[in-house]
Structure 1
């Protein structure tokens, strides 16, 4: 077999694991872009070491070992990724200054479902996979030390045995069990409230349709009726975040009023409904990208509106157009 044929064969074997490895690295790192870099680094290392691998263990386990080491190295020099809610109390909807944008490296970012959720036949497994990439859950993971984070994801999300995780991390089963117990205790206080269904049920579809209609019409009375009393609005990379319909509407009537006349294009992110938001172009022609909106639904209402403003990088990631005519 030629070197080219061998290389093609290796690459095709590795590609089978791209989506699930990207999901694993995203949960570890909290960034879609870093996750893709980590997977690419994993594949390069695997390709270079493939002759030494020789099938001594399952290819999947070997790739996860490499990916884990790559993520642990990346995390050793990185600060924890956060959401605006982690940085301080809610602000006022009447604020005129949302604060100076913070560096991208500090923010937990969204990820397209198709990049991290493999095709799964069982509906229950689909919902479980989507729960494990929710923004709130991935944000909670970032509070764990990196090795505890790896243990919890491998054991709780990917259902590896304690022995398999111990082998991967070159440690003992008691050590894995102890790390898992500590990780569970840290996450116990996490409030992951989003309602998930696959596909969306009729009530959720109706809620989203009403949201799009209200937002595009800028009917804030109709929009308020869709929000929970404790609903939040955040706008990374700016640190300001708001809680409650009154402050959210005050913001949308004031500083945020430039969103009037927006159009929404549906996508999915983090197992949740999302939209590319386009505001009227300053040129007067069409609409330009403004935000990626990720919604968290709970109890038949909208619990959180997460607006990610880094459209220059996020819209290509989500295959969203650069302009609406």
Structure 2
């Protein structure tokens, strides 16, 4: 079945005047049709690929495919479900030539002590952070199991990287978007039996790797003001070099990882040793901007290595994972390339 036929078990939407214009080659009409769906389609590409940059490319490629095939869209399904079919197949094509996205925990055991000489691994495809501004918080469909923001949480996206492409797509289409097995089979050019098999295997792996409760569930139990306070206290502790204040925010089994550095730390003793020897005393001065990333509280960290310098430069996006009111995981995505999707400045004074 062609991806441009638009056949689906979902009920078709009422004919949109812009759809008729777009079929006749009106690019502005196509842009208007796409505008309300672009954010969620981009998030879907990120879930599939684990990288904002790859998601940008896949969405652009997918929308080009949709534009070229729009004249053959029969309208037997909603435009939304048809576009999800197009971008899902685009992502599956991309996965055939790309390595899965990794986290440091996937590559080596944790370190007991700070590894001061840790060097970046440039030959690894690393999972990246996601700028979630504007992403809806509720379910994407009435039959979806996961909320849209739950499905961009770090643990969720990291778990997806351990699934083959077909299982990853099936899980997302079923659990996040609420597609039926028949619709998924049509999207992936396979049988319903194959979809059920892929879902069964994907759920087994996801159950082992996706923690419960999710971060969205945890955050709903914590007052928003308290979450902001935790973020502010974390930032202040780093900026003041206050180890005791930082440790007071952490759980006993806290982890800290810093892709693209391969080393990572597990447990309060190891994390404290790393924090004291590296970010608190061995880097320079810090300034922080509170943000949201992957549906979680996060901080954009700016570093001034030379005290004589007048600016703090982009260093890392720190994503915090909370358990109750303490930090159970810090993931520092090092690299200035992560800042642009968040609309953050190049430097701070």
- Under a length normalisation based on structure 1, what TM-score does the superposition of the two structures give? 0.91
Deviation string 1:89-128 (CA, Å, 9 cap, x unpaired) is 0013332211x3122751010010026x236599x99982
Which residues of 2 match residues 58-207 of structure 1 at below 5 A?
58-98=78-118, 100-103=119-122, 106-114=125-133, 117-118=135-136, 120=138, 128-192=147-211, 195-196=215-216, 197=219, 201=223, 202-207=225-230
Asked if 1:302 corresponds to 2:327, the answer is: yes
In structure 2, the partner of 1:251 is 274
Cα distance between partner residues in 1 of 2:247 and 2:232: 14
Q: Secondary structure at the match of 2:328?
A: strand
1:50 corresponds to which residue?
Answer: 70
**Partner residue, 1:263:** 287
1:213 alignment partner in structure 2: 236
TM-score by length of structure 2 reads: 0.85
Distance 1:164 1:54, change over 3 A: closer
3-state SS of the aligned residue for 2:285? coil
Partner of 1:280: 304
Deviates more, 1:221-230 or 1:157-166: 157-166
Moved over 6 A (4+): 1-5, 124-127
Q: Counterparts of 1:239 and 1:137 in 2: how far apart (Å)? A: 21
Contact 1:38 1:70 in 2 (8 A): yes
Could you tell me which runs of 5 or more consecutive residues in structure 2 were left unpaired when the two chains were aligned: 1-20
For 1:90 and 1:17, the matched residues in 2 are separated by 41
Instruction: Tell me whether 1:229 sits opposite 2:252 in the alignment.
Output: yes
Question: Where do 5+ consecutive residues of structure 1 fail to align?
Answer: none
Write the distance in 2 (CA, Å) between the matches of 1:230 and 1:2.
54
Partners of 1:184 and 1:61 in 2: CA distance: 23
**What CA distance in whole angstroms lies between the structure 1 residues aligned with 2:29 and 2:240?**
53
CA offset digits 1:192-248 (Å, max 9, x no partner): 255323696243333223222222222111110111111111111110111122222
8 Å contact kept, 1:120–1:126: no
Higher helix share: 1
Is the alpha carbon distance of 1:130 and 1:190 closer, same or farther for their aligned partners in structure 2, counting shifts above 3 Å?
Answer: same
1:22-37 paired onto structure 2 within 5 Å: 22-37=42-57
